[in-house]
Amino acid sequence: MNTRQSIDESIGPYSLSVTFNHDNSCFSVGLDTGFCVYNANPCELKVLRDFNAGIGVAEMLGQSNYLAIVGGGKNPKFPQNKLVIWDDAKQKAAITLEFRTSVLGVRLSKSKIVAVLLNSVHVFAFSNPPKKLSVFETSDNPLGLACLDQKVLAFPGRSPGQVQMIELETGNISIIPAHSTPLRAMALSPDGKLLATASESGTLVRIFATGNCTKLAELRRGVDHAVIFSIAFSPSNTMLAVTSDKSTLHVFDLPQQPISRRSQSPTPTSEETAPSQKWGILGKIPLLPRVFSDVYSVASAHFEIGEGATPGSAYVPPSGSSFGRPQKGLLGWCDDMTLLVLGSGREGRWEKFALREGEEGRKHCVRDGWKRYLG
């Protein structure tokens, strides 16, 4: 007999999704009643639109008045196979695109609209009417993963664990065999030169050069399985942050030149001498398991997962659908010393973390503030 009381979601707003804009200056929230937009730091409400119906995806175009929205929740504003480019200045839809299956993710630039479906990625020119430019097949992509900047579009390949990268100017396609298990998170660096990926195993984050698809580094989050929530590069492209269902935020220093963990060079590489070596001299002993020589985080902190997710449990964000658990641990850098972590759900939590220098140049990550942005 199930004696647990059901959660009453009729009281107060409920956030179905949360997304930063391109420079993390704002974030947009899909609500079960509409959508809203906040300044990121400090966390202050800018826009609230009440449709009396759910928005599962709300993706901002920079700091403009355009947002891509998709219906979601128990009472969706639009069918989930419909993508609407909303002009908030005019309070109406500017562009509408319909697909055969649900839209799980959207990426926007000034010239492109990218719609992510379960097994395909559709690219359109940002025009009215929109012009379809290309369609790419993918492996199952229930999280709607894709990364877009002015030059590169990256998303899961046709085989699990692969990344398909498109040069937008030339149309050239590169395939990166990033992992042996399906992708769980992806991120492009602000300058578009680096791509970070994590798989369902959740132990390693791999860094690739977008110019030639070379693997530059492997960063170890831990040795046991975890569900990666989010990965994000710092504005200077020198650090990477990772959150997971362990309720931990990790910050890594990135190597400043291509490296190889198994380099035979007599001169130690930047990875071999990095201060992030958790195991010290043990990492230099030959034939020890690779876990002793991998690059570990230089700072970490605890963030609040809140309701709807248990550390160590299987976790699936809603991706704009009417089922699944609230999205947690979304990362955004304000500057090289300030990180934000967002979560959706009933609480709608905003947390701010500061990186500080300690003794011997060691970094420390401390929580510098938090609030529930929904009220």
What integer pLDDT is reported at residue 227 of this predicted model? 96
- CATH number of the domain bearing residue 259: 2.40.128.630
Maximum Cα–Cα distance for the chain, whole Å? 66
Residue 160 domain-assigned (yes or no): no
In this predicted structure, the answer to whether residue 2 has a pLDDT above a threshold of 60 is: no
Regarding whether 373 and 232 lie in a shared domain, the answer is yes
CA 205 to chain CA mean position, Å: 13
Domains held by the chain: number: 2
Q: Which 3 state secondary structure label does DSSP give 125?
A: strand
Question: What are the backbone dihedrals phi and psi of residue 178, each rounded to the nearest 5 degrees, phi first?
Answer: -75, -40
CB within 8 Å of 350: residues ≥ 6 apart: 38, 43, 340, 341, 342, 370, 371, 372, 373
Considering the domain architecture, whether residues 348 and 243 belong to the same structural domain is answered as yes
pLDDT for residue 294: 75
Q: Residues 37-68: pLDDT tens digits?
A: 999 999 999 999 999 999 999 999 999 999 99
Peptide linkage before 129 cis (omega within 30 of 0):
yes
Q: Which of 44, 63, 98 is the last residue of a domain?
A: 98
The answer to the question of residue 165 being in a domain is: no
- Whether residues 201 and 312 share a domain: the answer is yes
Residue 110 counted as domain residue: no
Contacts 24+ apart (CB under 8 A), 73-81: 73/14, 73/16, 73/31, 73/32, 73/322, 74/9, 74/32, 74/322, 75/32, 76/322, 77/34, 77/51, 77/53, 80/56, 80/320, 80/321
What percent of the chain clears pLDDT 70, i.e. is strictly above it? 82
Edge-to-edge strand list for the sheet holding 66-71? 55-60, 66-71, 82-87, 92-98
Handedness of CA 297, 205, 334, 18 (dihedral sign): negative
Q: Where is the domain boundary, 98, 124, 140?
A: 98
Q: How confident is the model at residue 307 (pLDDT cuts 50, 70, 90)?
A: low
> From its phi and psi, is residue 189 left (phi > 0), alpha (psi between -120 and 50) or beta?
beta
- The whole-angstrom separation of Cα 16 and Cα 153 is 25
The residue type of 62 is: G
Asked if 176 contacts 190 with a C-beta cutoff of 8 angstroms, the reply is no
The four Cα atoms 43, 45, 51, 54 give a dihedral, to 10 degrees, of 0
| Separation of alpha carbons 29 and 48, rounded Å | 9
Q: Does residue 293 fall inside a structural domain?
A: yes
Half-sphere exposure of 248 (CA within 13 A, CB side): 13
Question: Kindly report the CA angle at 271 between 266 and 273, in degrees rounded to 5?
Answer: 65
Short-list 165, 200, 208, CA closest to 183: 200
Among 98, 128, 143, the domain-final residue is: 98
- 223 plus 323 within the same structural domain: yes
Residue 7 lies in a domain: no
Percent of residues, the chain, with pLDDT higher than 90? 77
Bridge partners, residue 166, by sequence: 153, 173
Residues 84 and 191 in one domain: no
What does the pLDDT look like over 233-291, one tens digit per residue?
999 999 999 999 999 999 999 987 544 333 333 333 333 333 344 433 334 445 444 44
Dihedral-angle region of residue 62 (phi above 0 means left; psi in -120 to 50 means alpha; beta otherwise):
left
Among 329, 347, 348, 340, CA closest to 365? 340
**Same structural domain, 85 and 197:** no
The total number of residues written for the chain in this structure: 375
Which pLDDT belongs to residue 331? 98
Contacts of 57 (CB under 8 A, 6+ apart): 17, 19, 30, 68, 69, 70, 72, 103, 105, 106, 144, 319, 320
- 186 within domain boundaries: yes
355 lies in some domain: yes
Angle (CA) 189 195 197, round 5°: 125
- Are residue 92 and residue 187 in the same domain, yes or no? no
Task: Enter the pTM of the model.
Answer: 0.85
Give me the mean pLDDT over the 206-211 stretch. Answer: 96
Claim to verify: residue 233 and residue 363 sit in the same structural domain: yes
Pick the most confident of 2-16, 236-250, 321-335: 236-250
The pair of structure tokens assigned to 104 is 């799980």
Give the integer Cα–Cα distance in Å for 106 and 116: 6
Whether 139 maps to a domain, the answer reads: no
Domain of residue 93 covers: 13-98
